[in-house]
Amino acid sequence: MSYIRNIFSALILVCAFAFNVSADDQLPTMTVSASRTPIAVSESGSSVTIIDQQDIKQRQVPFVKDLLRDVPGTAISQNGSTGTLTQLRLRGSEANHTLVLIDGVEANDIAFGSEFNFAHLQTCGLEHIEVLRGPQSSLWGSDALAGVVNVQTKRGTGPLHIENTFSGGRFDTRQNCTGLSAGNSLHNFSLYSAYFENNGTNISELGNEDDGYRNSTLNFRYGLNPYDNFSIDISGRHVDSEVETDPFSPPIDGDRETDSIQNYFKINSSLTLFNGTWSHQAGISLNDTKNENLADGFEDSSTEGEKLKFSYQTSLHHATNSSDHTITFAHEREREKFVQKGEVDLLFGDPNQRRKAYNKAYIGEYRVGIFDQLFLNTSVRKDDNDDFKDRTTYRITATYSPTNSVTQFRAAYGTGIKNPSFVERFGFASDSLIFPFVGNPDLKPEKSKGWETGITHLFSNKFQLTASYFSEQLKDEINGFFRLDSSEPFTSINLDGESNRKGFEFSFHAQLIQNLDVIGSYTYVDSTQPDATGKTTELRVPRNTASLTANYRFLNQRANVNVRVNYTDDQFDTDFDTFSRTELGDYTLVNLAGEYQLNNFVTIQGRVENLLNKKYQDVFGFETPGINAHIGIKIQNNK
């Protein structure tokens, strides 16, 4: 909508002219996803957004999906109430084009189309979240065709810290977050347990049956530092969830349920030599998932996925009076397993199967910083896959800051690749006579190339404005819902022609008055794919999205109020009654959160979701919850 663009443009201009231009020294914000080694966000040529621990605390949302609505370039689609399938699309890409890392573990679900279901990722115990946009396959492989979401949990620091938060609200919602953490120069650990349960709402437009949800999450981290130059880090995460759903699409009331288990584990060792100029890292990680589908209380089908990964990385660093150089080499070996179980269908065949895939990767990266003003980064990766032709991807980025350091210019160009998932190649679903599906083993990988350019300007230490333009092209896009006629099952195919994605992003961070911070963003995306008529708009990709967050601290910092506004434009989806395109209306969500610290140990919290009680749909036919209020108490032994 043009008026949304005008509102945000006016707000940016008003804030910009409110401050004088001057530089202010600050500690750099670091990112661990924009390079194979940690770098400052100001040195990244690709767009990256950091959601830190303070942001998570102030907004009080229980799930990461709600935080991601505030990030430029993101679109969230949720199949109804809490716990139902929740997808993220970056800059108009598909949901399985974004790699999700949790404490360094590649968390995309092999048992579920190699995409990540954001419905089950709780915020309890999280340290920060990075959202890196643009093709990143040269750094992180196949799943990072459109970008990376990197989630880091809390490390233990200082004396033993104990925290416990209880809250309850509408729809019989019960939520708990309990954490223990501590750390010194030799050891550090953290252990967080999260529980969320509610009776849900009815996701169907018809009937009155509520669809409930339960989620239990346990996360731990342990670090050992026996020497100044050697450390071992161990992390693990277990998620057990149950969500009630309805049959068919659009849904009608019925007894359907999906039970999921997600296990992530990683052990990593680090060694530095020659005063830190030569570093080595070796690690092993495991992603193990299972999704079980029940109909009327009985198991109907299930899928299991496993990714076992071994990695080694070495980096050399050299500095002179005028430049800093870092060169990195890495090698990765992956084994993926896919298992599907179900009843044999006389028409379409036997779903029971076990599949494996192997991949070896060789990665090189070179970074140089010149006079702390010009930063260049090049990376290249070769993937040797048993099932597909060897592929090479690369990326080049540049960042330049003039001597006044208040303006930064960025540019990036890269290529990406996405291998077809096991589900797209070998998946099988015959439990529904309306939507039978049989995979296509002859699929080719999707290939992309894209570039972006951007600028960040600091208006004193109270206002920062960032603008980016991006353009990406995708070949051999996979349509996972295709059939020639109604007598055939659905399957997956590679589309002929080229899919195009382009647009621009604006974001700002302002301190209007003391203790009042305002963060805003606006994104325009034009995302199309080829069809029989030439080009058509991608499904579930709104052309305009915007967000505005205001946070105010008062009463000597003991009280805090946070207001979030998220706008989502009209978007297209499929009406499965007629198998035709339909338009979903635009909507605006307003969320309110507040807290008051009674003393050093007790804090009262409250939040209201969907304050205006807006009725909307992210997916055609799936109803989302209305207004939802919560109140809770947080108890901790030290602040």
Tens of pLDDT, residue by residue over 323-363, are 999 999 999 999 999 999 998 887 778 899 999 999 999 99
CA torsion 174-177-178-179 (nearest 10°) is 180
pLDDT digits (tens, 9 = 90+) for 113-158: 999 999 999 999 999 999 999 999 999 999 999 999 999 999 999 9
Q: What is the residue range of 331's domain?
A: 2-150+203-636
- Give domain status of residue 525, yes or no: yes
Cβ(385)–Cβ(370) under 8 Å? no
| CA 60 – CA 605 distance, rounded (Å) | 8
C-alpha–C-alpha distance, residues 136 and 415, integer Å: 7
Q: Which of 40-44, 480-484, 545-549, 559-563 comes out lowest in average pLDDT?
A: 480-484
Contact 236, 219 (CB under 8 A): yes
3-state secondary structure of 67: helix
Dist CA 289 CA 107 (whole Å): 9
Between 72 and 483, the more confident residue is 72
Contact between 313 and 328 (Cβ < 8 Å)? yes
CATH of the domain at 431: 2.40.170.20
In a domain, 526, yes or no: yes
Is 191 a domain residue? no
What are the pLDDT digits (tens) for 546-580? 999 999 999 999 999 999 999 999 999 998 878 78
CB-CB contact of 156 with 221 (8 Å)? yes
Residues contacting residue 459 through CB under 8 Å, at least 6 positions apart: 15, 16, 19, 20, 21, 406, 465
- Preceding amide of 135 cis, omega within 30: no
Which whole number is the average pLDDT over 278-282?
98
Residue 287 falls inside a structural domain = yes
Residue 184: is its pLDDT beyond 70?
Answer: yes
* Cα separation of the two ends of the chain: 44
C-alpha torsion angle, residues 409, 447, 362, 112 (rounded to 10)? 110
Q: Measured between alpha carbons, how far is 487 from 494 in angstroms, rounded to an integer?
A: 21
Instruction: Report yes or no on 233 lying in a domain.
Output: yes
pLDDT higher than 90, residue 503: yes
Spatial distance between the Cα atoms of 350 and 362, rounded to a whole number of angstroms = 37
Listing DSSP states for 5-16 in one string gives: HHHHHHHHHHHH
- In 338-349, which positions are buried (b, 16+ CB within 10 angstroms) versus exposed (e)? bbbebeebeeee
Which pLDDT score, from 0 to 100, does residue 540 have? 96
Burial class of residue 127 (count of CB atoms within 10 Å of its CB; 0-12, 13-18, 19+): middle
559 is a domain residue: yes
Q: What pLDDT does residue 16 have?
A: 38
Q: How many domains does the chain have?
A: 1
pTM: 0.94
Residue 561 lies in a domain: yes
Would residue 372 be called left, alpha or beta, if left means φ above 0 and alpha means ψ between -120 and 50 degrees?
left
Supply φ then ψ for residue 15, to 5 degrees.
-65, -40
Distance of CA 607 to the CA centre of its chain: 23
Q: Is residue 302 part of a domain?
A: yes
